[in-house]
Amino acid sequence: MKRLGKWLAILVALIVAGIALLMVAFPSATVRYRLTLEATVRGEPRTGSGVVEVTYGKSSTFLSHSELSIDVRGEAVSIDLGERGRMFALLKGDTDSRSSPEWIVFRAANFPHGNLPRPVEEGLRQLGKLSGKYELPLTSLPLLVRFRDLSDPGTVERVDPLDIGKSFGDGAKLTRATLEIVPSEPITTGIERQLPWWNGSHPWLKPVGNGVFVDIRTENFQVNKEDFKRGV
């Protein structure tokens, strides 16, 4: 019995040592942030925000083509513009490749070229030390969209962050975006309650009769559920 206990203790020690070695060889950093959008509609302030979590880790070059592994958990940020409608900042980049939810952290923190500092280990160390609130340029925001009809996913349209009035009418303006590090706040949930089409069996397919469906997304502009909700 004593011998069994000794071997179990050795096994536990080896497992702990192995985990410690993996953490040294493949470090990671988790950043939980609140993205807040501020707008005005004919001078009336409107605000929307949501908490997203991103985990960055050094990956093995034997297992991945990229030196960095990234996992995003959270939802699109929604801002209610009253009778003008609702705007969403998706979990997807816009025309700027560094505007997706995992990359805007680097932009907001003013990392060189909007990228993770090298070597990866040093970049992850800097990520782990981030705190406070940062201004985020409107041109660095994730993809902004609206639905002409919230019950119809086929009416989705891109919104220009520098001129939301084109989508929401005169007097509508996006004025500010901030990213605040909030490690103890819960990740935002519940986006599906704002989207009547969410629970449809095929929200991106439109019936045309005789059991035939067509994809209602255009070839150059496609969004899906993962752009609104991921990992939660």
Per-residue pLDDT of the chain (232 residues; tens, 9 = 90+): 556 555 454 444 444 333 333 344 448 999 999 999 999 999 999 999 999 999 999 975 544 456 889 999 999 999 999 999 999 999 999 988 789 999 999 999 999 888 888 899 999 999 999 999 999 999 999 999 999 999 888 788 999 999 999 999 999 999 999 999 999 999 999 999 999 888 875 666 667 777 666 666 655 567 788 999 999 8
For strand 144-147 and strand 156-158, is the pairing parallel, antiparallel, or unpaired? antiparallel
Identify whether 12 is part of a domain. Answer: no
Identify whether 104 is part of a domain. Answer: yes
Identify whether 18 is part of a domain. Answer: no
For residues 99 and 56, give the distance between their C-alpha atoms in angstroms, rounded to a whole number.
16
Identify whether 19 is part of a domain. Answer: no
- Rounded to two decimals, what is the model's pTM? 0.82
Counting the structural domains of the chain, the total is 1
Identify whether 82 is part of a domain. Answer: yes
Q: How far apart are the first and last CA of the chain?
A: 45
Identify whether 67 is part of a domain. Answer: yes
Identify whether 136 is part of a domain. Answer: yes
pLDDT at 18: 36
Identify whether 13 is part of a domain. Answer: no
The per-residue DSSP string of 125-154 comes to HHHHT--SEEE--GGGSPPEEEESSTT-GG
* Residues spanned by the domain of 160: 25-230
